[in-house]
Amino acid sequence: MANRWLWLPDQDGGYSVRGVYDMLTSQEQPQLHPNMELIWHKQVPLKVFILAWLLMRDRLPTKNNLANRGFIPLEARLCVTGCRHVEDVNDLFLSCPTFGALWPLVRAWLGVVRVDSQETSDHFVQFINYAGCSRSRRSFFHLIWLLCISVLWNEQNDKIFRNRQSSLPHMLDKVKSSSLWWLKASNVVFSLGTHMLWSIPLSCLGIDWLGCNLVWTLTFSWLFWHTLCCNNYVVRVYIIHFCLFKFFFFNSNVK
């Protein structure tokens, strides 16, 4: 009997382009994590977005993934920092005693006191929710989370390929300096000057409801009282428009 090609999905009709199309479109589409749609941020470089996308899908070349695909031995899949944990995405970015220690420093810089989740997708949502309901604050926290992921991944690569490892304060400085350049590239206004970003980032950006918002509240109150005491109609209208402009600008500085 002579050998012949056989199209298994349709052994009677044989191969056809329509048959391949029907087979591909009839298959159930894989369900992506709901957080995948939330990763995108317009102030973040594309390569960082791609990194986060691979992270959420667990497609990064961590040692655990490399070992599962047969690129390295199973006994070589321990974390590069020597913590004796299997290097998967949760260990590398969150639970590793060396790399994971960056998150408490970042939270202290942002003025947030919380307990972090040890699963990447949950940690992503939790970190953004630290900002509360303010869209500006959530946008900034979103940017910082993506930036931390980028810094930690670069640190892992430096440890592997250059045998070089930064200290935790140095990694935090990288987060601060990179956030400054990313925001500057988007023409974000710094209410208190860029030098204040190192110590009080939320107040520097004008999105600290416990700090700068109190200052603006007092300013608005003084202007409102001055408006009531002013007999000039034009001055009254000008002051009211100024207050409204400042209020909306204050709430939409970082988007």
CB count within 10 Å of CB 197 equals 20
CA distances from 213 to 159, 174, 186, 210, 226 (A): 42, 28, 23, 6, 20
Nearest by Cα to 175 from 195, 197, 196, 147: 147
- Max distance between CA atoms of the chain, in angstroms, equals 106
Q: Could you list the mean pLDDT of each consecutive 10-residue stretch along the chain, which spans 255 residues? A: 75 81 72 63 89 91 92 90 90 92 93 85 89 83 95 94 91 93 80 74 72 51 59 58 54 45
Q: What is the pTM of this model?
A: 0.71
Q: What is the predicted pLDDT for the residue at 207?
A: 76
- pLDDT, position 193: 66
- 119, 90 contact by CB (below 8 A): yes
